[in-house]
Amino acid sequence: MEQKRKKAKYRKDKRNLILFNSLISIVLAACILLAGGLGAAAYLFGDMKQGLISDDHDQLGISSEVVEKLPKEIVNIALFGLDSRDKNATDRDKALKGRSDTTIVVSINTVDNTIKLTSILRDSWVPISNGKGGSYYNKINAAYSTGGPQRAIHTLNNNFGLNIKDYVSISLYQLWNVIDIMGGIDIHITEWERQKLNYFGDQEGFNVEDVTESGLVHLSGGQAMCYARIRNDSEEVRVLRQQKVISALFEKAKTLPKTQYPEMLRKVLSNVETSMTYDEIFKYAPMLAIADLHIQSTSVPGEEVVARGGVFEDTRGGWVWKYDIEEAKKYIYKWIFGIED
């Protein structure tokens, strides 16, 4: 019974963490789209990295049946938060590689002004293409590290019957640059957290200055990242720290004068890679200006998709979520498209 409670708590914590990663991504996407009204696309988007993927449906795992079945008014875009394991994260090309710590399907309904976020938990045990016509089972976050965004998109489309053709990626390590761009954030920390923050920064080689006081402190991007990654207590408390960082980031963004937005957006977008063109991005700007835009979110697995979590004989010692992929597909179809598959 105790083990079941631990697993249920772990699942809830994972959903909370992914929800806040989703919020980061949506806020960033909104900034990108609204930038279209500034009339300075070449300046704002000049440093954004353009990623290239195949437009061939077979290469993206999109079947002809899916093309015919799914409604054209709903556009699905893959959103990846990458854990590059690059300690300093100064090289953008290196930072925009690695496992996808966060994988989200952003579904934009251009008719009813709804955006739905479907987070696929990173430890989901699914078949992944080996690029040679076969497949193997692994955690879904391995698809990006072994085959980049194209294989990650293929994995989503092939397993869940989707029609994703574009993606947006941001390095989670690069998020500290976003915090620095905004001038740092203010957070309450305990003396124990201060010591662990400094220890973590030293051990991992992040080259950040030590925090010398507890209480309400001003943190740089590197310090905030170390704070959010403290692991010496429960996962629940760690999630709360990450929530505090995101909340503080939102509050700081509200205080910035609008005259700083163009330069800030340009710097933020330099940490982003996407397959979308300027025209494709600008196409959604009018929808985001509508007051009654609705954003909803869910996760797989979750309350509607039953999963077993643990280390299994075939998972090579790794902790994973195992669930019925067809059941997950049916739930996703109903959630995103309103289709009873």
Residues 79 and 66: their CA atoms lie apart, in Å, by 20
95 Cβ contact list (under 8 Å, min separation 6): 82, 84, 86, 89, 171, 173, 174, 271
Residues 284 and 288: their CA atoms lie apart, in Å, by 7
Whether the pLDDT of residue 242 is over 90: the answer is no
Give the residue with greater pLDDT, 113 vs 227.
227
Tell me the mean pLDDT in the region 9-37.
Answer: 46
Digit-coded pLDDT (tens) for 206-215: 678 999 999 9
Tell me the mean pLDDT in the region 134-157.
Answer: 94
Architecture in CATH of 2-173+272-337: 2-Layer Sandwich (3.30)
Whether the pLDDT of residue 8 is over 60: the answer is no
Whether the pLDDT of residue 27 is over 50: the answer is no
Q: Three-class SS string for 252-283?
A: HHHHCCHHHHHHHHHHHHCCEEECCCHHHHHC
Q: How far is CA 105 from the centre of its chain?
A: 9
Residues 108 and 102: their CA atoms lie apart, in Å, by 19
Residues 301 and 308: their CA atoms lie apart, in Å, by 9
Residues 85 and 173: their CA atoms lie apart, in Å, by 8
Whether the pLDDT of residue 11 is over 60: the answer is no
Nearest Cα residue to 329 out of 29, 144, 118: 118
Tokens encoding 41: 């696309």
Question: CA separation (Å) from 70 to 76, 315, 321?
Answer: 11, 33, 27
Digit-coded pLDDT (tens) for 252-300: 877 777 677 666 667 667 778 889 877 777 676 555 555 556 778 788 9
Whether the pLDDT of residue 147 is over 50: the answer is yes
pLDDT of residue 285: 57
What residue spans define the domains of the chain?
A: 2-173+272-337, 183-255
HSE-up of 161 (CA within 13 Å, CB side)? 20
Give the residue with greater pLDDT, 164 vs 241.
164
Summary mean pLDDT of the chain: 78
Give the residue with greater pLDDT, 36 vs 305.
305
Among 88-92, 116-120, 258-262, 329-333, whose mean pLDDT is lowest?
A: 88-92
Could you count the other beta carbons within 10 Å of the beta carbon of residue 318? Answer: 13
> What's 141's DSSP letter?
T
Residue with tokens 């879904």: 140
pLDDT of residue 243: 64
pLDDT of residue 338: 92
Tell me the mean pLDDT in the region 199-218.
Answer: 87
Digit-coded pLDDT (tens) for 47-95: 677 788 888 999 999 999 999 999 999 999 998 888 665 544 556 666 6
CATH (residue range 183-255): 3.40.630.190
Tell me the mean pLDDT in the region 223-252.
Answer: 74
Instruction: Assess whether the previous peptide bond of 301 is cis (omega < 30° from 0).
Output: yes
Stated pTM of the model: 0.75
